[in-house]
Structures are given as structure tokens and as C-alpha cells.
């Protein structure tokens, strides 16, 4: 700036800093009408034109400003930033490098050059420029945030997280710092903290497309896609709604384990519950469920608690022990989401002595199937002429979720019940059972398929059996270690065991 600024330039600068861009440009142009080569006025008019979306005009004004004062590093620095925003990173890099030649050690130019070099894919050079910036000015939050991005790109997430955390501590209201911090926290498995940082970033700068994109990516990663198929499972939704209407008594305090979208908790409120406490361990789900509950006018009766049920406490999270427990924490083999330990804990600490439970019980079935398509890689052996058998260490020995109706298969035995679980009573945390599976057709036994029926309430049942339309649970398939040739009429012995969240079945010929 000139040693004795023109009052009109001071006026223009104040308008610019207050965001009154048209007024700032007008004041600068009035000065230019008298002094066409006034570098500071050209500079300010260029910035105002750029902010108002008039790129071509801004470039003309910047070129005039540079010509008027070739040795001004600040003008070149801002010009370089604008060129980067306009998608001209090579030109931006040249402009910023010239700015640094004119003003060595200019931390703003170093920070901006680092961002430009990152855009050009020159990550090592970008890191050097940004390291120099933070060495010269250790409290420069924007440079720490930019360096964190580059270090993440270079595959150094630990060092990147350190700089992102430093940036966020230095300037908690810097959206850029919160955005990169959130992404790195998620990369380090700290999803709840990541979500908090990214929500803060989008609140600070709603127009930050990168922060919004990062937030969406973390939210998607935190919530399994099967939640959508579950919500699209009409049979499940209607059965639970009927059962909840039948089970809820006016004024009940209902505890639901596993909030998800909050739909079952709202069903309980609609059915007449006086109070519903629902818990969800996933903080992203819990936050959205609370929003859904409020949007549907249920917040006065439904409380969403972002904790596991085993972390709930009566008197803190629940006003009193619950009269009714509602659960939908089942997977393809029934037990994988922890229904048994969760139920035992709730019964011991969170339920009234005569509390009811929904579902009331479940029965698990097994049948032997011929499944040639999937058998080719279970266990995995040769693929495309290569021995891939070591890859089998990553296969889940408990089996996988399969929709049998969409896979070529044949049922070789009639289904046999393995376990009956009565959720209205204390359920042992482990158990074993034997069953006989009689072959109904000739074939080759490749696997054991499992499914179950849920006894939700009096007269309300549902099943995950093969062929049920839109069954989001599908079936569990456990592949046999070796094929078993079968003839109709032969019998197989099935030995089943469960412990906690795992259920396994072994099959042998009699």
C-alpha cells in the first residue's frame, strides 16, 4: 500500500473487509478514474471483481496492478490464489513463486504455493513449502491444515493427524482445519470424533463442498448399507408394528435396544407407550434417529441415547425400569448382533420384574443344500489357473449371508429345527443341539443353510426362510469342509453349538 493512503482507498478497503463488494469496487474505481495506474486501487478492484464472479475483469485488473507495481509480492500472491480458484494451477504456481522471490519467507505465499503444488500433484514440493511456512510461523493454523492434507496424500496419516489437530487447536473456528481433522480421525478409526469435527466444519462454512463431501463419506462408512434393505422389508415392518400394538399397554415405559432409524421406538409411542427409551451405539445413527423422532413429533415421548444397552443406567438414561423390551438386533444366524448377552444384561439391570419381551422367542432351522456356484470359492482353491488357497484365511468360518432364492441351489434335506429360544425367560449364553437331516433327493451336499422364525407376539410371527419376498436378513450359509455325496433316504447327523454371538453347525454322514 502507498505510504499515505488516499481516503477513498481506505473507504474502499473498509467496504471490502465488511463484504460490501460492490461498494468497495465503486470506491476503488472512482480513485482509478483519476489515477489509472494506482496499484493499490487496481489490486482492490481486482479482488472485488473476482469475489463477484467476474473473472475476466479481475484478470485484467490484476495484470494492470502487476504492471503498475512489478515488485509487489502481495499483489502477486493474491493473483496466484485467484488463478488457482479459476483452475489454472500452472499459472498460479508461477505467480506465487515470483511472489516469494520478491518477499522471501512470506508465509502466506508459502501456504498458497503449497496448495497449488498439491493441485499439480507435486506433493513432495508442496510439503516442503508448507513445512517452511509452519517453521517460520508455528501458529499458522491454515498452513498446518494444508500440510495435513498433503501428508495424508503422501500416505503419512499419523503425521498428518498431528498437524490437523494443531490447526484445529490454534483456530477452532477454521472450517478447513475441522474438515481435514475429521477425515483423518475417521482414517484412524475415531469415527465419533470425526463426525463431530466434520459437522463443525460444515456449520462453520456451509459452502465448503469438500467438508460436506467428507461428512457424507464418513456417515456412509459408519452405517452399513443393510439398514436400507431392512427399512424396505415390508413384512418385517408390518409384523413388528402389529406385535408392538399388541404388546404395548397404555403408559408403558418401553426400552428398545438398537435404534437404527428410530422406527420401532416411534411405533411404540404411537401404540400408547408413555415413555420410550431407545439406545444406539453408533453415534451417527443415534444423531439421525433423534432428528427423525423430532421430525415426526415424538420427541416428547421418545429419548434416543447414544450408548450400548450395556452402558445404560436406570436413573440416568432410563427414568425407571422398563415394562416392555423391544429388540431387533438379529443377523442371518439370529445371534450375531449380540441378542443373548444384551437380553441377559437388560433383564438383570434395566427391566421391571414382570417386564414383557418382544420378540418372545425364535426357532432356528437347518437344511443341507447343493450350491455349485458359490462352492467354487468356498473353500477357495484354483482361480484362473492360480492357487489362491491361502486367501481362505479371510473367509468367515461361521458362514455368510446369502439370498438362496437368487443363487442356483437345491435343497437336499427337509429343514430340521436346531434351537428354540424363549426370550421371555433367562436364556443360557451357550448351548448345543443335535438333529437328523434326512436326504430328500440325490445330490452333493455343499453347505448347511440356516434361517429362523421369530415369535414376535401372540399370533404375530415372521420368518427368514428361503423364498420369502424382500427378506433383508436372507439366510446364513455354512460351507462344509468336504463335499458329501447323498442319496435320497440317507441321513446326516448335525451337531450345532452356540456361544454368545456365534452359532456353528457340523454335518457328518450317519
160 within some domain:
yes
Q: What percent of the chain has a predicted confidence (pLDDT) above 70?
A: 99
CATH number at 243 reads 3.40.50.150
Does the pLDDT value for residue 298 go beyond 50? yes
421 within some domain:
yes
**End-of-domain residue from the set 358, 382, 414:** 358
Q: What is the mean pLDDT of the chain?
A: 92
76 and 64 housed in the same domain: yes
- What's the pLDDT at 4? 66
Q: Where are the alpha helices (DSSP H) in 37-174?
A: 39-51, 55-68, 73-85, 89-102, 107-119, 123-136, 141-153, 157-170
Q: How many helices (H) and strands (E) does the chain have?
A: 19, 17
- Residue 498: name the closest of 449, 427, 426, 436 by CA: 427
Give the three-class secondary structure for 487. Answer: coil
380 and 341 housed in the same domain: no
- What's the pLDDT at 510? 81
Residues 6+ away with beta carbon under 8 Å from 195: 182, 215, 218, 219, 222, 283, 284, 287
416 and 327 housed in the same domain: no
Q: What is the pLDDT of residues 187-244, one digit of tens each?
A: 998 988 999 999 999 999 999 888 898 888 888 887 777 777 788 888 899 999 999 9
- What's the pLDDT at 446? 96
Tell me the average pLDDT across 399-417.
92
- What's the pLDDT at 377? 82
Give the total number of structural domains in the chain: 3
Q: What is the pLDDT of residues 334-373, one digit of tens each?
A: 999 999 999 999 999 999 999 999 999 999 999 999 999 9
Torsion sign across C-alpha atoms 390, 396, 397, 400: negative
481 and 365 housed in the same domain: yes
380 and 493 housed in the same domain: yes
Q: What is the pLDDT of residues 119-131, one digit of tens each?
A: 999 999 999 999 9
367 within some domain:
yes
238 and 341 housed in the same domain: yes
368 and 415 housed in the same domain: yes
Domain enclosing residue 463, as ranges: 361-509
336 and 381 housed in the same domain: no
When pLDDT is cut at 50, 70 and 90, the band that residue 2 belongs to is very low
81 within some domain:
yes
From CA 426, how far away is CA 49, in angstroms rounded?
Answer: 73
| Its pTM surpasses 0.95 | no
Give the three-class secondary structure for 191. Answer: helix
CATH number at 483 reads 2.70.160.11
- Concatenating the DSSP letter of every residue in 375-386 gives HTBTTB-EETTE
- What's the pLDDT at 216? 86
85 within some domain:
yes
CATH number at 147 reads 1.25.40.10
145 and 213 housed in the same domain: yes
Please answer whether residues 318 and 350 qualify as being in contact, where contact means their C-beta atoms are separated by less than 8 angstroms.
yes
- What's the pLDDT at 1? 42
Tell me the average pLDDT across 419-426.
95
157 within some domain:
yes
From CA 492, how far away is CA 476, in angstroms rounded?
Answer: 19
1 within some domain:
no
Q: What is the pLDDT of residues 474-489, one digit of tens each?
A: 999 999 989 999 999 9
Residues 6+ away with beta carbon under 8 Å from 71: 102
185 and 46 housed in the same domain: yes
Tell me the average pLDDT across 257-263.
93
61 and 137 housed in the same domain: yes
Lowest pLDDT segment from 27-31, 261-265, 397-401, 489-493: 397-401
**End-of-domain residue from the set 358, 376, 411:** 358
**End-of-domain residue from the set 222, 244, 272:** 222
Q: What's the residue count for the chain?
A: 510
241 within some domain:
yes
238 and 145 housed in the same domain: no
Q: Which residues are catalytic?
A: 328, 337
Q: What is the pLDDT of residues 28-86, one digit of tens each?
A: 999 999 999 999 999 999 999 999 999 999 999 999 999 999 999 999 999 999 999 99
Which string of b and e fits 133-160 if b means at least 16 CB within 10 Å?
bbeebeebbbbbbbbbbbbbeeeebeeb
Amino acid at each position: 500500500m502507498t505510504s499515505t493512503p488516499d481516503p477513498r482507498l481506505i473507504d474502499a478497503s473498509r467496504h471490502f473487509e465488511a463484504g460490501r463488494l460492490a461498494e468497495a469496487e465503486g470506491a476503488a474505481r472512482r480513485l482509478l478514474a483519476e489515477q489509472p495506474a494506482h496499484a493499490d486501487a487496481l489490486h482492490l478492484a481486482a479482488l472485488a471483481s473476482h469475489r463477484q464472479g467476474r473473472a475476466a475483469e479481475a484478470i485484467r485488473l490484476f495484470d494492470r496492478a502487476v504492471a503498475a507495481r512489478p515488485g509487489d509480492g502481495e499483489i502477486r500472491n493474491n493473483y496466484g490464489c485467484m488463478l488457482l480458484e479459476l483452475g489454472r494451477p500452472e499459472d498460479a504456481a508461477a505467480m506465487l513463486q515470483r511472489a516469494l522471490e520478491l518477499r522471501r519467507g512470506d508465509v502466506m505465499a508459502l501456504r498458497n504455493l503449497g496448495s497449488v503444488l498439491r493441485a499439480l500433484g507435486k506433493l513432495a514440493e508442496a510439503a516442503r513449502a508448507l513445512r517452511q511456512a509452519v517453521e517460520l510461523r508455528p501458529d499458522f493454523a491454515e498452513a498446518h491444515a494444508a500440510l495435513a492434507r498433503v501428508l495424508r496424500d503422501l500416505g503419512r496419516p499419523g503425521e498428518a493427524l498431528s498437524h490437523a489437530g494443531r490447526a484445529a487447536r490454534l483456530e477452532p473456528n477454521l472450517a478447513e482445519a475441522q474438515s481435514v481433522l475429521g477425515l483423518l480421525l475417521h482414517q484412524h478409526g475415531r469415527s465419533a470424533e470425526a463426525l463431530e469435527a466434520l459437522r463443525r466444519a460444515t456449520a462453520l462454512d456451509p459452502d465448503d463442498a469438500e467438508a460436506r463431501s467428507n461428512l457424507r463419506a464418513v456417515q456412509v462408512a459408519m452405517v452399513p448399507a443393510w439398514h436400507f434393505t431392512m427399512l424396505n422389508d415390508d413384512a418385517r415392518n408390518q409384523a413388528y408394528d402389529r406385535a408392538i400394538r399388541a404388546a404395548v399397554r397404555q403408559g408403558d415405559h418401553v426400552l428398545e435396544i438398537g435404534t437404527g432409524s428410530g422406527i420401532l421406538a416411534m411405533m411404540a409411542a404411537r401404540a400408547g407407550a408413555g415413555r420410550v427409551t431407545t439406545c444406539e451405539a453408533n453415534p451417527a445413527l443415534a444423531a439421525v434417529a433423534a432428528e427423525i423422532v423430532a421430525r415426526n413429533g415424538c420427541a416428547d415421548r421418545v429419548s434416543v441415547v447414544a450408548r450400548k444397552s450395556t452402558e445404560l443406567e436406570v436413573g440416568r438414561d432410563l427414568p425407571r425400569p422398563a415394562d416392555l423390551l423391544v429388540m431387533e438386533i438379529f443377523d442371518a444366524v439370529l445371534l450375531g448382533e449380540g441378542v443373548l448377552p444384551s437380553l441377559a444384561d437388560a433383564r438383570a439391570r434395566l427391566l421391571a420384574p414382570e417386564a414383557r419381551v418382544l420378540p418372545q422367542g425364535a426357532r432356528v432351522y437347518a437344511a443341507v443344500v447343493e450350491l455349485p456356484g458359490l462352492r467354487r470359492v468356498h473353500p477357495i482353491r484354483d482361480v484362473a489357473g492360480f492357487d489362491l488357497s491361502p486367501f481362505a484365511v479371510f473367509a468367515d468360518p461361521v458362514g455368510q449371508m446369502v439370498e438362496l432364492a437368487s443363487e442356483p441351489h437345491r435343497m437336499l434335506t427337509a429343514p430340521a429345527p436346531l434351537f428354540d429360544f424363549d426370550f421371555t425367560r433367562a436364556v443360557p449364553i451357550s448351548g448345543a443341539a443335535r438333529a437328523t437331516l434326512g436326504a430328500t433327493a440325490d445330490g452333493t451336499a455343499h453347505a448347511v443353510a440356516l434361517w429362523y422364525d421369530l415369535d414376535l407376539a401372540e399370533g404375530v410371527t415372521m420368518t427368514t426362510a428361503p423364498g420369502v419376498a424382500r427378506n433383508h436378513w436372507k439366510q446364513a450359509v455354512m460351507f462344509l469342509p468336504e463335499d458329501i455325496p447323498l442319496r435320497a433316504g440317507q441321513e446326516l447327523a448335525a451337531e450345532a453349538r452356540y456361544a454368545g454371538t456365534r452359532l456353528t453347525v457340523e454335518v457328518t454322514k450317519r
